[in-house]
Structure 1
Amino acid sequence: MTKKLIVLGYFLCSMITIAQTYKPVDTADYIQRKAFLKNFEGNNEVTVKRLKSQYSGKTGTELSKIYKEFGTDFEKQVKNKDFIFKSEFEASIHSMIQRLKKNNPKVPQDLKILIAKDNTPNAYCLADGTFVINMGLYSWLNNEEQIAAVIAHELGHKIEEHSLKTFLKIIQQDELDKVVVDNIKSTTTSRSHSQNQKAFDILKNRVYKKGVERRQSEMQADSLGYAIFKNSDFKKAEFVNALQRLQDFDTISPRALKVETYKKLFNLPQQAFNEKWMKKEDFSLYNYNFYKEKLNKDSLASHPEISRRIEMLKKTFAELKTPADPEKPTDLFVALKKTARMEILPNYFHSEDYGLGIYTAMQFLQDEEEEKYYKSWLGKCFSKIYEARKNYNLNRYLDRIEPKNQSESYQQFLNFMWNLSLDEIKNIADFYQANETLAKVN
């Protein structure tokens, strides 16, 4: 959820005007989904058989199990309409990949494209050549060149088979750990602090080693990805510009919600605003420094700091040392960027992040953006929150307060939401849903 919150930082920093008659992207693509699933299932079976024959014994068995489980999980995501087919996004990505294939024979020729209804700026490539692009890349990056840079980086992972290598190392490490654990048991007659410490040291060393290997993979994917990128007809400096934009994703914070925004949105004709809703839980007596960190977070990080990645690229490729302003986006990119922005609420709703959907809608409404559109989503999300509260499963859709990991603004929002009674939530939901119905009639 923390990453999802960070996404808001950029989305809410600028105003983009779109007609209030905007309709969410249509996911009534049953025929395309059915065809994709049929091909994916067949391709995954071929991959599993190939790995089982390529790696004998337990390694082959474990690998085939991993890829079978992954395939099953991915198919569920497709059936859940987590992806969209035959869209302008797909055409845009296909055009970029065609450009990346120029002078790059290592780039797989059978890449298939899927656009994910996900607001985080990310992409990944599957074993069968399915390339997944999150819609959030269009909201976050500045132009097609930067999206192509992200794709090139992921192609670096694909060409080097980093995922497969990671799985192989995990299987190998599991076997080594079992031997060490058996040795600990045989040399210790009773369960003691010493035995527990030895076991923890095994875990710690394994996690640290995994972190180092994954950071090395990221650096390698950067170098190979840039080599692919510069061999094509993209502007070289945009590879670094893309990384700098992704660094913003890790550091930027969303603007705070004002108390006046709560009062404006929730002082209703049938339910006056109650100051008690804004009461905060006091965490000042909690001593969060009492327990020392047993694992070093820097050693656990799977992605090295982007500043280090940029530094390494500039050190390796001299032409990247000279900074350049971002290229001007095409009209198609601008249109897709606007669409991606308007899909933020539908995407959160689809992923059942109803609490975050309310928080996001309030941010947009505070900026006076598309009032009718975002008020309608406010009503939809509150309606789902009401159902969850009534069924005693609100924790599934609304975060608990974590002072160390959340901004002051988001903590205030969560206090507000948890302070509302069941009837008060229903009144808010009914009000905004009634307004949506009235707006449609008019």
Structure 2
Amino acid sequence: MMAIFRKSIFFLLILCSFNAAAQQGTPAYSFLKDDTVLRKKLYDQTVLKKSVLIEQAGKEQSKAYKEIYNEIFDEIGSMWKSSRVITEANTYNYLDNVVKKIVAVNPELKPLDFKIVFTRDWWPNASCMTDGTIVFNAGLIIYMENEAELAFVLCHEMAHYYLQHSNKAIKKYVETVTNKDFQAELKRLSKQQYGANKELEALAKTTAFKSRKHSRDNESEADRYAFKFLKQTGYDFNAITSCLQLLDKIDDSLLYQPTPLPQAFSFASYPFKKKWINKETSIFSQLDESSSGLSKKEQDSLKTHPDCLKRITMLKDSINQQIAGKQFIVNEAIFKQLKADFFAEITEECYKQESLSRNLYYSMQLLQDEHKRTLGIYSVARCLNTLYDVQQAKKLGNKIDTEDKQYSTHYNDLLRFLARVRLEELANINYQFCIQYESLMTNYPGFDKELLKAKIAKNNYQ
């Protein structure tokens, strides 16, 4: 017992000495500092908007409206309370200035209560919510080439709110589910002993199909109005085409080419094991991965942004008639700085949201950025230690994704690795990884703790 106590004290003293050394070293990577007062203000505006919409719903279908508004606004409220939203002053002001540029030359937009922010979300998307909140994910802007593309997407989302697409969809949904025939069908199925689930599924599919059709019609209408809004601004109209071309292929886009796992996690004293990522040799896994059994139309429908090429075709003639505008109007330097900063913000947010496979995937890509390499090294070490902890606690399942044909080959390799690597192997890999960069990371705050944790984990198996 005394030996264990002395060992614990020994490691504690080492940790304290590491902390003292780190305080004298180079600073850690500086992430964007959010304005919590601004975030609270935006949250309060959302709460007020919810009350207004519920009051406007009237009494006849108030219960259905209240239920759906509660669900929608709970999600929006959770977003404002999270670390996902970027409210750092320079970032927020830059986006706000682009918005003001658009609104200033489109009088019909001036009465609208927009709340427009960047988020740290990794998926490449922007969306307009029921209360006028427009979120522009960092996972989209990092792939954009210029401010004109940013302005087009903003015009598109502002068009959705101007045209009240969300509220119209809610109204249509409420009218459907409160319809007497619909309710009678639900009641009949609830009493049916056999085949009820199948018929309920068919009913849901019919409703979903109609919803998707309206959604695509809405996208086309929003594009037309986005063209109209952008036309007044002086931005380059070619950005519409380049942006839609980007969206069409964005699911396969990478900011950095990932380092192959056998290269990243192979060490002289602990070589990489091919079994960690080798694919199964069953007849099913030998099928061509590209042959999903889906038509091109169905494959396109699964994209984050379907129908982009059709959207280009519909706007092509109008675009060609315009005089070329400017790629940057508000601030080119800030746009490029945001592109440079946002990938690190995405990576860190994945860790905060406990999306560990995503965090590790992006952290390994940061290793290739000479300006953020030390952040990447620290982030990989921290994530591997956390993966060890959650795997040891048997809570790994909800922290990592599972393989999917919609993911890239590199990401699927990583997911296969995480699903197969054992605790002892993970401990050894992280220790070797930390040792490999120990001299480079001597003064990086926090790395000493990760190295110590990795060493303790490895020593558990000696």
| TM-score w.r.t. length of structure 2 | 0.76
Q: After alignment, is 283-292 or 408-417 more displaced?
A: 283-292
| C-alpha deviation, 1:353, in angstroms | 1.9
| C-alpha deviation, 1:228, in angstroms | 1.0
| Residue identity opposite 1:267 in structure 2 | F
Partner of 1:158: 161
Partner of 1:89: 91
Partner of 1:222: 223
- Structure 2 residue ranges without an equivalent (≥5): 1-25, 449-462
**Kindly tell me: are residues 321 and 184 of structure 1, through their superposed partners in 2, closer, same or farther at Cα, counting changes over 3 Å?**
farther
1:45 aligns with 2:46: no
| C-alpha deviation, 1:326, in angstroms | 8.3
CA contact (8 A) 2:152 2:230 kept: yes
| Residue identity opposite 2:238 in structure 1 | A
**Equivalent pairs: percent with the same residue?**
21
**Kindly tell me: are residues 108 and 366 of structure 1, through their superposed partners in 2, closer, same or farther at Cα, counting changes over 3 Å?**
same
Partner of 2:32: 25
**Kindly tell me: are residues 399 and 125 of structure 1, through their superposed partners in 2, closer, same or farther at Cα, counting changes over 3 Å?**
closer
1:113 aligns with 2:119: no
Counterparts of 2:416 and 2:306 in 1: how far apart (Å)? Answer: 34
Counterparts of 1:205 and 1:298 in 2: how far apart (Å)? Answer: 20
Q: After alignment, is 353-362 or 328-337 more displaced?
A: 328-337
Partner of 1:70: 72
| C-alpha deviation, 1:215, in angstroms | 0.6
Counterparts of 1:400 and 1:220 in 2: how far apart (Å)? Answer: 37
Partner of 2:17: none
**Kindly tell me: are residues 324 and 298 of structure 1, through their superposed partners in 2, closer, same or farther at Cα, counting changes over 3 Å?**
farther
Counterparts of 1:279 and 1:236 in 2: how far apart (Å)? Answer: 45
CA offsets per residue over residues 125-159 of structure 1, 9 Å max, x none? 33333332222333111111111100000011101
CA contact (8 A) 2:276 2:421 kept: no
Among 301, 307, 316, the residue aligned to 1:314? 316
Partner of 2:60: 57
Secondary structure of 1:136's match?
Answer: helix
**Kindly tell me: are residues 344 and 433 of structure 1, through their superposed partners in 2, closer, same or farther at Cα, counting changes over 3 Å?**
farther
Secondary structure of 2:397's match?
Answer: helix
1:141 aligns with 2:144: yes
Secondary structure of 1:44's match?
Answer: helix
CA contact (8 A) 2:95 2:117 kept: no
**Kindly tell me: are residues 94 and 405 of structure 1, through their superposed partners in 2, closer, same or farther at Cα, counting changes over 3 Å?**
closer
| Residue identity opposite 1:272 in structure 2 | Y
| Residue identity opposite 1:158 in structure 2 | Y
CA contact (8 A) 1:119 1:344 kept: yes
CA offsets per residue over residues 214-247 of structure 1, 9 Å max, x none? 1101101111111111122322222222222222
1:36 aligns with 2:42: yes
Partner of 2:205: 204
Partner of 1:232: 233
**Kindly tell me: are residues 135 and 303 of structure 1, through their superposed partners in 2, closer, same or farther at Cα, counting changes over 3 Å?**
closer
Partner of 1:354: 356
Counterparts of 1:310 and 1:279 in 2: how far apart (Å)? Answer: 40
**Kindly tell me: are residues 91 and 367 of structure 1, through their superposed partners in 2, closer, same or farther at Cα, counting changes over 3 Å?**
closer
- Structure 1 residue ranges without an equivalent (≥5): 1-18
**Kindly tell me: are residues 43 and 204 of structure 1, through their superposed partners in 2, closer, same or farther at Cα, counting changes over 3 Å?**
closer
Secondary structure of 1:140's match?
Answer: coil
| C-alpha deviation, 1:433, in angstroms | 6.1
| Residue identity opposite 2:284 in structure 1 | Y
Counterparts of 1:325 and 1:119 in 2: how far apart (Å)? Answer: 30
CA contact (8 A) 1:123 1:132 kept: yes
CA contact (8 A) 2:120 2:342 kept: no
Partner of 1:373: 375
CA contact (8 A) 2:247 2:305 kept: no
**Kindly tell me: are residues 429 and 57 of structure 1, through their superposed partners in 2, closer, same or farther at Cα, counting changes over 3 Å?**
farther
| Residue identity opposite 1:417 in structure 2 | L
CA contact (8 A) 1:115 1:133 kept: yes
1:126 aligns with 2:123: no
Partner of 2:245: 244
Partner of 2:276: 278
Secondary structure of 1:150's match?
Answer: helix
Among 391, 395, 399, the residue aligned to 2:397? 395
**Kindly tell me: are residues 303 and 247 of structure 1, through their superposed partners in 2, closer, same or farther at Cα, counting changes over 3 Å?**
closer
Secondary structure of 2:236's match?
Answer: coil
Secondary structure of 2:142's match?
Answer: helix
**Kindly tell me: are residues 185 and 391 of structure 1, through their superposed partners in 2, closer, same or farther at Cα, counting changes over 3 Å?**
closer
CA offsets per residue over residues 246-287 of structure 1, 9 Å max, x none? 22314446887565x53444427xx61242553524163338
| C-alpha deviation, 1:116, in angstroms | 1.1
| TM-score w.r.t. length of structure 1 | 0.79
CA contact (8 A) 2:403 2:415 kept: yes
Q: After alignment, is 218-227 or 363-372 more displaced?
A: 363-372
Counterparts of 1:324 and 1:348 in 2: how far apart (Å)? Answer: 39
**Kindly tell me: are residues 215 and 108 of structure 1, through their superposed partners in 2, closer, same or farther at Cα, counting changes over 3 Å?**
same
Secondary structure of 1:343's match?
Answer: helix
| Residue identity opposite 1:26 in structure 2 | K
CA contact (8 A) 1:345 1:360 kept: yes
**Kindly tell me: are residues 254 and 84 of structure 1, through their superposed partners in 2, closer, same or farther at Cα, counting changes over 3 Å?**
closer
| C-alpha deviation, 1:300, in angstroms | 6.2
Partner of 2:453: none
| C-alpha deviation, 1:92, in angstroms | 1.3
| Residue identity opposite 2:133 in structure 1 | T
| C-alpha deviation, 1:335, in angstroms | 1.6
CA contact (8 A) 2:138 2:342 kept: yes
Q: After alignment, is 229-238 or 215-224 more displaced?
A: 229-238
| Residue identity opposite 1:424 in structure 2 | E
Among 169, 175, 182, the residue aligned to 1:177? 182
Secondary structure of 1:124's match?
Answer: strand
Counterparts of 2:253 and 2:95 in 1: how far apart (Å)? Answer: 27
C-alpha RMSD of the superposition: 3.6
